[in-house]
Amino acid sequence: MTRYAAGVEYIGTGYSGWQALSGRQTLQAELERALARVADHPVFTTAAGRTDAGVHALQQVVHFDTDAERSDYAWLLGTNSNLPGDLSLRWAQAVPLTFHARYGAIERSYRYVIHNQRARSALMLNRASWWPRPLDADAMQLAARALIGEHDFSAFRDSQCQAPSPVRELRRVEVRRVRDFIVVDVVGNAFLHHMVRNIVGTLAEVGQGRRPVEWVAAVLAGRDRREAGITAPAGGLYFVGPQYPAEFALPKPPQPWFPA
């Protein structure tokens, strides 16, 4: 039996999220069907994170076990020939059986993209969220500083979140303007359900001038989801990817290209 790790890229618009669900079109189910065609036996994958419906990924990482003898290139070419155009295997390589895509990740990165224009863009549909009111990226960045470090993020978790603990560590939150876009990069050890989207929705309240910079720290301390901002739309969120210990020699998450 050989364990493989693989990097997966996708546009999540047409799917009910990552996790396989009966009766729904999901990314995991599509990938497992394609891998099974190459392996000639059922394949079950474990992912670094379960992205929601409509969320995209630059490098989701999965692992799977197989007794099929195929080259790395055969896995790559064969799997992609059986996948739809919005879902692609970017690399695959054998790893030790000790590798675990979810529990072995030491860091995860997300990018959220806001198209900040008065008129909505047809080309940005489901690639960036649309916020018509002007946003102050500098104010959002100042407010985001309160989120750095290890905290109880109950105020930013979805009510259906099943994580046993709300404590997470954010290592970087960077907000900046790139022409007509507001870009929010978030890096942490792990994330709660809807955590990044809830953070963005809360920071946007400050960016629009509806709340002071200090309000975000108060929301965090209050641990009450009802006091935070909205859940930002899924289409603006990209799972950039996880990082693993150097011993596994896996490709690092790519440099996000959008917006340039």
Q: 186 near 197, Cβ under 8 Å?
A: no
Same fold yes or no, 2-104 and 107-239:
yes
Mean pLDDT along residues 201-210: 98
pLDDT at site 224 = 96
DSSP for 15-69, please give it. SS-SS--TTS--HHHHHHHHHHHHHTS----EES--PPTT-EEEEEEEEEEE---
Residue 21 is predicted with a pLDDT of 87
What pLDDT is attached to residue 138? 98
Local confidence band at 161 (pLDDT 50, 70, 90 cut-offs): confident
- Residues acting as catalytic residues: 52
Instruction: Dig out the tokens for 83 from the structure.
Output: 């996948």
Q: Residue 40: is its pLDDT beyond 80?
A: yes
**Residue 260 pLDDT exceeds 90:** no
CATH code matching the domain that covers 107-239, chosen among 3.30.70.660, 3.30.420.40, 2.70.98.60, 3.40.50.1370 = 3.30.70.660
CA distances from 150 to 29, 102, 140, 229, 241 (A): 34, 20, 20, 21, 20
Residue 56 pLDDT exceeds 90? yes
User: Domain 2-104: which CATH class?
Assistant: alpha beta
- The C-alpha atoms of residue 154 and residue 168 are separated, in whole angstroms, by 10
Q: Could you tell me if 16 and 26 are in contact, meaning their C-beta atoms sit under 8 angstroms apart?
A: yes
* CA distance linking residue 137 with residue 84, whole number of Å: 37
The ranges assigned to domains in the chain are: 2-104, 107-239
Question: Which residues contribute to the annotated binding site for substrate?
Answer: 110
**CA 187/CA 83 separation, integer angstroms:** 29
| pTM for the structure as a whole | 0.96
Examine the pLDDT at 25 and tell me if it is beyond 90.
yes
